[in-house]
Structure 1
């Protein structure tokens, strides 16, 4: 993947950085922690224009986030809520969805803004925002601000570290794995709790 990222950046320049960051938002395993410091280093040595790299990366972030926001909006809260009432739907209960919607209504702005600065979460936070139908202008503005800060920090680190720019990805890699592990644990907990509740319901109704 690293060689592919290098080839895109070197071939397409700032638009290539924007394209890769767009993909990173839609397909989280593509690491912005590698793309952005590389772009900063390339800007330092003069092969990229710094004043085009940051806007291109931020535009890619916003466009990628809007794709996942649209997925959430098209699914719709009512449809997912109805699905969560089915016995075979094991990812969450209707009560979980109600709590999630309440949380987004109360603190959705903070969640979207801060979530843009957390690996993996920066991508998937767009879907619940779409489900909750957060106003599009607000979602776009918060995404642009949060992503702009994230992009500026990592491009700046690549510029500052120079030939050692790849140390950024090495330092952030463990943090990304921790976040991924926490997400997987959370999903597993929801599934187990949902299965236990369903089995308890079935057992109760089968009792004589």
Structure 2
């Protein structure tokens, strides 16, 4: 928190954008903390509210593009080779995921920008599936703009109680992580049963 505050004091709104970009790539501090803090700082008149929204959205796009680049570098062929060597995963799993992303990728990228944990991860399959970079950037920017604006305005409105945003959204993050863990366990168990039969 102190590091983010110092970053915004030193760089202003671009500091908030830099923090969000870093959070997208290596999430040391979730955006549920950064964005309301940016709103609180704007409420104190230290940074512009509009600039905070624009810079954090730009930061979200930059961070997402780094992970998109990683996915693009991996590519479908590499992912298939990796899947072939992993236990419980098959090449057809990768193909099915790629087909699903071709059909629903734009929605997944837009909505995924507003879901904790998924927000960062969704960029990798977008790159793997070869989603056009212009489309990816557009939907990432749109989804990030909605998410960032909501959390910055919440921090702006709550003032010194801006930490309440993280407290309540922390439950959402926990629920998403639990759902992902359950999905992984279900996947592994079903694969083990299939191999035994």
Q: Normalization by structure 1: what TM-score?
A: 0.88
- Cα deviation for residue 180 of structure 1 reads 1.3
Aligned to 2:18: 19
Aligned to 1:49: 48
| Partner residue of 1:135 out of 115, 132, 146 | 132
Q: Which runs of 5+ in 2 are unaligned?
A: none
Name whichever of 115-124 and 45-54 sits farther off: 45-54
Partners in 1 of 2:58 and 2:158 — Cα distance? 24
Are the aligned partners of 1:37 and 1:168 in contact in 2 as well (CA < 8 Å)?
yes
| Partner residue of 1:179 out of 173, 176, 179 | 176
Change (3 A) 1:181 1:109: same
Partners in 2 of 1:170 and 1:73 — Cα distance? 35
Q: Secondary structure at the match of 1:133?
A: coil
Partners in 2 of 1:99 and 1:85 — Cα distance? 14
| Partner residue of 1:147 out of 109, 121, 144 | 144
- Cα deviation for residue 30 of structure 1 reads 1.8
Q: Normalization by structure 2: what TM-score?
A: 0.93
Partners in 1 of 2:2 and 2:177 — Cα distance? 24
Aligned to 2:104: 107
Are the aligned partners of 2:88 and 2:192 in contact in 1 as well (CA < 8 Å)?
no
Aligned to 1:206: none
Aligned to 1:39: 38
Partners in 1 of 2:6 and 2:179 — Cα distance? 33
Aligned to 2:154: 157
- Cα deviation for residue 194 of structure 1 reads 4.3
Show CA shifts across 1:161-202 (max 9, x none).
11211111111111111111222222333344445555x49x
- Cα deviation for residue 24 of structure 1 reads 1.2
Name whichever of 7-16 and 68-77 sits farther off: 7-16
Q: Which runs of 5+ in 1 are unaligned?
A: 202-208
Partners in 2 of 1:9 and 1:181 — Cα distance? 33
